[in-house]
Every structure is written in C-alpha cells, then in structure tokens.
C-alpha cells in the first residue's frame, strides 16, 4: 500500500509566514526559514510555500525566499502563488522548488496547465483548487478565494488532470483555519474521480482529522499549516499516531 504523506504549508506575505481563517483574518505566524527547518526536521514529507502577495516585485522576493529554504531543507519543496506563465514557474523551479503550484491563472487559461506540463513534466505541476460550497454545490474560487469561477470543483479537477496536472491540491475554504476537520465529501468526490494524487487541505485541528481524511477518501496526502506552526500537533507524533491506527506513513 502506498504511504500517505504529511505536508506542511507556509503562506508567505512580504517575507513572513502568515495564516488566516477562511482566507481572511490574516496574522503573522513566524519566520519562514525557521519554520521550514522545524517542519523538515520534525518529519514532514514535503513543504509547500504559497506566495499570497502576487506582483512582479513580490515574485522576486518570494523566489529569494524559496531559494533560501531550498538550500536548508532536505525534503521536497513545492512553491506557488501568483504564477501566470511558464517564465514565472521557471523562476521558482530555478530557485530550487521541486514542484510548482498554479491556481487562478489555470482557471483563466486552462492551456497553461498543458504548457507547464510539456515544459517541465506533469510530475512538477500541481493545480491548486480553492473550493467552497454554494447552495449544496462545491464551486472553484480564484483570486485568493475572493472570486467565484462558477466552475464545479470535481469537473475542474478532472479537466486539470486531463490537461497534464500531476496532482491536485484541494483546499476547502469552508473549513480553512477552522480546525474542524477536512471537508470529507468534496475530498472523496475529487479523489474518486481523478487518477492523480489529491492533497487534502483546509480544516485540520487534531490528529483524528488526519485519520478521518485518510480512511474516508482516496487522498494521498494531507496538508496543514497553523497547527504545525504553533506546535499544537507535532508532525512526528502525528505520524506515530497514524501508524498505530494502521495508516501507512513514512516514519
């Protein structure tokens, strides 16, 4: 059985790690280089860095942050946020990222996914899908969760996979930062309908939430941010717990 991955995520704004609730109420969470080292040493399988301050100058600042972190950790690194072109993606890959994550730009221009996959290979491309439930339908949102695309989430995930995405990073805006658990229903629907890895994101608050998402969906990884940043859950202890619960993880 394939082992499940535990991924730590750092949202980066102006060179600092920040975290919010449902994409709002943003607050400082610490130095990204220090947190990256802590998470890598604690046993995270991968680190995701997301730039939430897009713009030409911020892209350069973020790339420098990626480079510093890549030089100091020994686990895979994914970087994303504000990627609009192959050039933007190349900047982060050259800085040391192993994979890049593209979100809003892919919704506006789906062929960007195939272009990135052709250039860098599907395994290097994650399509991040921010989703919220509107009138009993899960809908894709863009622009940091501010704009509804009117795309149905499962249909968009299937299309992203067809175009060459190597994985889907699925974030439930409904649960993000609430520590109430992952959105099992949409995570199960997406992971059941695509043949690429799905990373569950949004809502982790206790160890049982990781167990639940792994047991009740086909996701390959679970991502969390603030509970790791503030030491509410230790990654190594989480993995030991999951192992005892017969969920295959890398110890």
Query: Which residue in 45, 88, 130, 176 is the catalytic one?
Result: 130
CB proximity list for 97: less than 8 A, separation 6 or greater: 49, 66, 70, 77, 78, 79
Query: Catalytic residue at 189?
Result: no
Instruction: Dig out the tokens for 187 from the structure.
Output: 């995570």
Cα separation, 248 vs 124, whole angstroms: 24
Query: Catalytic residue at 195?
Result: no
Contact at 8 Å (CB) between 69 and 35?
no
Cα separation, 58 vs 148, whole angstroms: 25
Cα separation, 200 vs 217, whole angstroms: 9
Instruction: Phi first, then psi: give them for residue 217, nearest 5 degrees.
Output: -140, 170
Query: Which residue in 11, 45, 88, 176 is the catalytic one?
Result: 11
Contact at 8 Å (CB) between 60 and 92?
no
DSSP string, 54-117: -SHHHHHHHHHHHHHHHTT--S-EEEESS--SHHHHHHHHHHT-SEEEE-HHHHH-THHHHHHH
Q: Which residues are the active-site residues?
A: 11, 130
């Amino acid at each position: 059985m394939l082992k499940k991955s535990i991924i730590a995520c750092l949202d980066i704004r102006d060179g600092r790690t920040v975290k919010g609730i449902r994409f709002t109420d943003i607050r400082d969470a610490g130095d990204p280089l220090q947190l990256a080292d802590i998470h890598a040493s604690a046993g995270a399988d991968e680190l995701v860095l997301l730039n939430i301050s897009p713009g030409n100058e911020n892209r350069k600042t973020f790339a420098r942050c990626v480079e510093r972190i890549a030089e100091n950790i020994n686990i895979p690194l994914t970087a994303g946020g504000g990627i609009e072109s192959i050039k933007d993606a190349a900047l982060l890959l050259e800085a040391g990222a192993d994979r890049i994550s593209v979100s809003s730009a892919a919704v506006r221009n789906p062929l960007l996914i195939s272009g990135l996959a052709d250039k860098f290979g599907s395994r290097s491309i994650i399509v991040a899908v921010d989703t919220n439930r509107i009138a009993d339908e899960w809908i894709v949102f863009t622009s940091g969760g501010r704009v509804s695309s009117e795309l149905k989430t499962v249909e968009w995930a299937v299309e992203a996979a067809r175009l060459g995405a190597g994985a889907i990073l699925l974030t439930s805006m409904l649960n993000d930062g609430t520590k109430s658990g992952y959105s099992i229903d949409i995570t199960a629907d997406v992971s059941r309908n695509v043949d690429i890895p799905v990373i569950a994101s949004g809502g982790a608050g206790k160890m049982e939430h990781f167990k639940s998402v792994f047991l009740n969906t086909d996701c390959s990884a679970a991502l969390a941010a603030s509970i790791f940043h503030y030491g509410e859950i230790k990654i190594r202890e989480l993995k030991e717990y999951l192992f005892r619960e017969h969920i295959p993880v890398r110890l």
